[in-house]
Copies of this chain bind each other. A is one copy, B any other.
Amino acid sequence: MKIMNDSFLKTLRLEKTPYTPVWIMRQAGRYLPEYQQTRKNAGSFMDLCRNKNFATEVTLQPLDRYPLLDASILFSDILTIPDAMGLGLNFIHGEGPIFDKPLQNEQAVQALDIPSMDKLSYVFDAVKSIKNALNGRVPLIGFSGSPWTLATYMVEGQGGSDFLKIKKMAYERQDLIHHILKINAESVTQYLTEQIKSGVDAVMIFDSWGGALSHHEYSELSLNYMKVILDNLDILGYEHIPKIIFTKGGGQWIDQQIIARPDAIGLDWQTSLKKAREITNDKIALQGNMDPAILLGSDKKIEEEVKKVLDDYGRGEGHIFNLGHGITQFTDPDKVDLMLQTIREYSQQYH
């Protein structure tokens, strides 16, 4: 099916567009009253993800509200794979995801295996349903967590800030961590392959916790395994599907990231797009990078910051506007309108 608004895909191919395309991480989410309503109807967060009708409904909500969005993203969670591995995913209110059976000893690690993709069929069904509902309006982005990021949850049992359990494993028993990461990389490859077969137009790997590693360890424990996935997808015949990697807190390692040859690198607000562009040398697109907290500010501040981000990237193709992390639930939906209008108007001079 031909995609009507293809500015996002064109930018990923570094082709000319009349303005800077934009989408928003977690654009379908709690800041939207219509999402809150669907969520209430669905039950739990995972109930929402597992029902293709609800997942389709919420994926399309931001597009209906904001005609200036240039891409949609599958509504799902990054932890579907470890859930399908049998680790028992739960969302505790106010505490985020928790696994009932984290990998806490060698036996559990050795018993780990690639999950059957049948267990994830609800995701692929959702992709098909969303693609159908989109009817070519904008591209659909598929996604997965990175092998390292999945491993942090699988070993820690939950999100965190110090990651002492998984780091202890990594620095004491290298063999165990690489066993997990290899299985995760193969699982993500199969998972993204099925998403592509079901219709997604681009894929993104969220490396939410790669930034917790040292510059010595990032390549070995996170980036290399993302590279395995990108390479495998190419070998499997999906070279034409654009691939985005995003290591939160990884803005110091762009020189390493370009080695994995993604089509785009996601950046958070700590990184200057101008400096990043000097490293990628216009060979790889950049996605980002306004601080989501700016949307809590005054209209004047939002306009100023949107312009700063666009000025920072400057003239030419290859920039996809986004926030540097998911939009916060405390955002006033009208502020998003202002952001989108400012991007559309101000960015045209640069194309």
Contact = CB atoms under 8 A, between A and B. Distances in A.
A296 B171 contact: yes
Given A215-B271, A252-B251, A162 B293 contact: yes
Given A291-B214, A328-B162, A270 B249 contact: yes
Given A215-B269, A272-B215, A328-B162, A293 B251 contact: no
A270 B254 CA distance: 12
B328 A164 contact: yes
A308 interface: yes
Nearest to A268: B214
B291 A167 contact: yes
A211 interface: yes
Most buried by B among A293, A301, A324: A293
A171 B324 CA distance: 16
A298 interface: yes
A163 interface: yes
Contacts of A164: 293, 296, 328, 330
A161 B293 CA distance: 12
Interface in A1-16: none
A297 interface: yes
A252 B272 CA distance: 9
B270 A214 contact: yes
A57 to B, nearest CB: 28
Contacts of A34: none
A218 B150 CA distance: 31
Contact of A215 (B214, B216, B270): B270
21 contacts: A161-B161, A162-B293, A162-B328, A163-B293, A164-B330, A167-B296, A167-B297, A171-B298, A171-B301, A213-B291, A214-B269, A214-B290, A214-B291, A214-B324, A215-B269, A215-B271, A215-B272, A216-B269, A216-B312, A217-B291, A252-B272
